Amino acid sequence: MAGVTRVLIVDDDALVRSGLTMMLDGAPGIAVVGQAGDRDEVPAALDAHPADVVLMDIRMPRLNGILATHRTRARPNPPEVVVLTTFDTDENVLRALRAGASGFLLKDAPPVEIADAVRRVAAGDPILSPRITRRLMDRAAVEAGSYERARAAFAALSPREHEVALGVGRGLTNAEIAAELFLSVATVKAHITRILSKLDAGNRTQIALMAHDAGFC
């Protein structure tokens, strides 16, 4: 399946799983390789059907998708995780992002948008809509001590790494950061690799969240 983005769909609603499967299987370059109806089914599903991206329902009967996201991202060579939400009712999206999710999608998003999001996340470009992400971050309660921890972590970055991290925090792509800072895309990628290590972050989304916690974005 070279060149094809493999997707695992996790949702307790069989109708939603079927709809997403039909939608994504018809999209170029995407194949749904498996489904799971509960967070406890995810490890076995991934063992049987390795995936590049997991679409994770944030609300499931026994426990929401936050723990499942954390466990999925803790696997060796983990797939990217995108949480599915209704936005207006879900207060746990920020917690899912902190658990390692690469972004989130609204369940009523147009099919083309969902397919594009899957491709972007698989390519390492998180789904960070500036408008919706800002609203989520602003309405979420900041964890105690997160400002101090984030400021201390950012102090370890070089000036250039700091600039790149702020670009990530603003939701810019590697190409956009490169153009803004007059760098090559390869150099931006190298900076991001070092930033991930210095901040002990699992992905770009967590860099963005730390930038927000530190008050830089």
- The encoded tokens of residue 31 equal 């194949």
pLDDT tens-digit readout, 187-209: 999 999 999 999 988 888 888 88
Domain-ending residue, one of 139, 154, 171: 139
CATH number of domain containing 55 = 3.40.50.2300
pLDDT tens-digit readout, 147-192: 888 899 999 999 999 999 999 988 788 899 999 999 999 999 999 9
pLDDT tens-digit readout, 112-152: 888 988 998 888 877 765 555 555 555 554 555 678 888 99
pLDDT tens-digit readout, 52-103: 999 998 877 665 778 888 889 888 889 999 988 776 556 667 777 778 888 8
Confidence bin at 39 (pLDDT 50/70/90): confident
Same domain, 133 and 172: no
Cα Rg for the chain, rounded, in angstroms? Answer: 17
Split into its structural domains, the chain has a count of: 2
Same domain, 128 and 156: no
pLDDT value at residue 102: 85
Average per-residue pLDDT for the chain: 84
Domain-ending residue, one of 104, 120, 139: 139
Same domain, 151 and 134: no
Same domain, 10 and 97: yes
What's the CA gap between 182 and 81, in Å, rounded? 31
Q: Looking up tokens 């790149």, which residue turns up?
A: 164
Same domain, 114 and 34: yes
SS3 helix, strand, coil % of the chain, rounded to 5?
A: 50, 15, 35
DSSP symbol at 194 = H
Could you write out the DSSP letters of every residue in 63-111? S-HHHHHHHHHTSSSPPEEEEEE-SSS-S-HHHHHHTT--EEEETT--H
Domain-ending residue, one of 101, 123, 139: 139
Same domain, 108 and 45: yes
For residue 11, what are the domain limits?
5-139
**Which residues, 6 or more positions from 213, have their beta carbon under 8 angstroms from its beta carbon?**
142, 143, 146, 147, 149, 150
> What's the CA angle centered on 121, arms 115 and 126, to 5 degrees?
120
Same domain, 116 and 206: no
pLDDT tens-digit readout, 96-109: 777 888 888 888 88
Sign, CA dihedral 170-171-172-174, equals: positive
